[in-house]
Homo-oligomer: A and B are copies of this chain.
Amino acid sequence: MRIAILGFGSVGRGIARVILAKNLDILVTGLADSRSGMIDPAGIDIEAALARKEEGAPCGSPDIRPIDVVTGADYDILVEVTPTNVENGGPALNHIQTALQRKKHVVTSNKGPIALAYPELRVLAEENGVTLRYEATVCGAIPLIHAMQEGLAGNTISRLYGVFNGTCNYILTRMAAEGLTYAQALAEARELGYAEADPTYDVEGIDAAIKLVILANTVLDMQTTLDRVDRTGISLLTPEALHLAEEQDCTIRLIGEIVPAAGVLRVSPRIITKTHPLVVEGTLNAVTVETDLAGDLTFIGKGAGSIETASAVIGDILYIRDRYVQGS
């Protein structure tokens, strides 16, 4: 099986390392990041590309842009793992559209195109007889979309809620455990690489809201947009509020919630009893799905990280291989 990888940051390199380490019998025939690209029908030397990238050198030729790989390389699956842009989907949206039009399967970890344009992309995939998969866009390593599409097929989801952002969960865990202020806990999260220099995307609940929109549009039969998510972040939370919750054997978590029948999509800090399965520590994610047949199910795992996200992408690649490109 042949894949082309767009994006050679932490996720793209994670995928490359897993392919090498596991002998997955996957040939990488195209590769590009924002600076350079490579196309080789016989298979790119991934180990050498990783080494160049680590030295700070371009991984390929500066003349080859990502879109050239999409249109010019020979591959079964386009693996779109460039950084998320939720304003307009960025170039990733065009990459994915172009690949689907070329009748190529697509696997992506890029939240932008899936949050903004899933209905159109799904139609495009169907028209071209190919598959679009995006497990890595929601809760990293947790196979939530697989579980909902397959294991829970036949169930009606009445409510879905959980901890969708590891950065906020880390900050709240530390505020509760050590009595830190929001600013102190955020500074600690930055030092450990859990928060960006500009933390707005995480702490104001935007990242969680995007994941809700993706779940709503892809597995909950809703048609919604980011501006319709009722959203409150954690930046105004005080240690006193957490202390009050603790006194009642509760704590506070940033909870994203969807109630499909009521059209509810919201992200907000919520008081929750400490014994609830959603009360996970550190940067973990946790999601509870309420169903009519299977009852309540909770999934807990790592929501971010290079190798964890690569795990979800690899799962999607193997899913497509086992169904659609076997023997190729």
Task: Give the B-binding residues of A (Cβ under 8 A).
Answer: 18, 22, 24, 135, 141-143, 146-147, 150-155, 275, 277, 280-281, 291, 293-302, 305, 307-308, 310-312, 314-315, 317-319, 322-323
Q: A146-B146, A298-B298 are in contact. List 19 more A-B contacts (CB 8 A).
A: A24-B154, A141-B291, A141-B297, A142-B297, A143-B151, A146-B150, A150-B150, A152-B315, A153-B315, A154-B315, A277-B277, A291-B311, A293-B310, A293-B314, A294-B311, A295-B301, A295-B302, A297-B299, A299-B299
Q: How far is the CB of A284 from chain B (nearest CB, A)?
A: 9
Return chain B residues, CB-CB under 8 Å to A314: 153-154, 293
How many copies of the shown chain assemble into the complex? 2
Contact A277 B280 (CB under 8 A): yes
Q: Contacts A150-B143, A150-B319: A311 and B293 contacting too (C-beta < 8 A)?
A: yes
CB-nearest residue of chain B relative to A19? B154
Return chain B residues, CB-CB under 8 Å to A317: 154
Report which of B152, B277, B315 forms a contact with A151, defined as CB distance below 8 A: B315
Q: Contacts A280-B277, A308-B295, A314-B293: A135 and B151 contacting too (C-beta < 8 A)?
A: yes
Return chain B residues, CB-CB under 8 Å to A296: 301-302
Return chain B residues, CB-CB under 8 Å to A153: 314-315, 318-319, 322
Contact A277 B294 (CB under 8 A): no
Return chain B residues, CB-CB under 8 Å to A323: 323
